[in-house]
Amino acid sequence: MLKRCYICNLKQKNIVMAIMITDECINCGACEPECPNNAIYEGGAEWKYSDGTTLKGIITTLDGEDILADKPFEPVDMDVYFIAHDKCTECVGFHDEPQCAAVCPVDCCVDDPNYRETEDELLAKKSFLHL
Ligand code: SF4
Ligand code: SF4
């Protein structure tokens, strides 16, 4: 019997995976300016909700935490570019496909099996980031 791959099954159920950058990244920087949410950072850089979004002052995150939008968070990776998951909408609401993956010359922007969000959740994240 022909089996459907599990990623296809998830997409059919409107469940998509977040994007992550692997260690194969060559630090070319091509993806960073393409991200509509400013979710991509150079290795070792602190990330903030306020970078490239309309968030400012005290915000309530989608996890229900009250924080300053300018609060710096630890880098996710010290050596290569990384994606701040809390700011990645997989380009939903902006583009038909993840722009980082589209421009990456070494195809190291891949699905992250640890994060799965529905399209509605991604649209809610987009609305949260861009009032
Ligand atoms: Fe940014 Fe889109 Fe890549 Fe997510 S998938 S990091 S929103 S360019
Ligand atoms: Fe790394 Fe690819 Fe982004 Fe270049 S485009 S910085 S190789 S993830």
The pLDDT tens digits of the residues spanning 75-115 come to 999 999 999 999 999 999 899 999 999 999 999 999 988 88
Q: Which pLDDT does position 67 carry in this prediction?
A: 97
**Pocket (CB within 6 angstroms of ligand 2):** 21, 25-31, 81, 103-104, 106, 108-109
Is pLDDT at 7 greater than 70 in this prediction? no
Model's pTM, two decimal places? 0.89
Chain centroid, CA 113 distance in Å: 13
- Our CA angle for 60, 86, 21, nearest 5°, is 170
Dist. CA 93 → ligand 1 center (Å)? 11
Is pLDDT at 14 greater than 60 in this prediction? no
* Pure H helices in 39-114: 99-103
Q: Is the beta carbon of 99 within 6 A of some atom in ligand 1? A: yes
Give the pair of three-digit tokens for residue 28.
Answer: 């070319």
Cβ–Cβ under 8 Å, residues 31 and 104:
yes
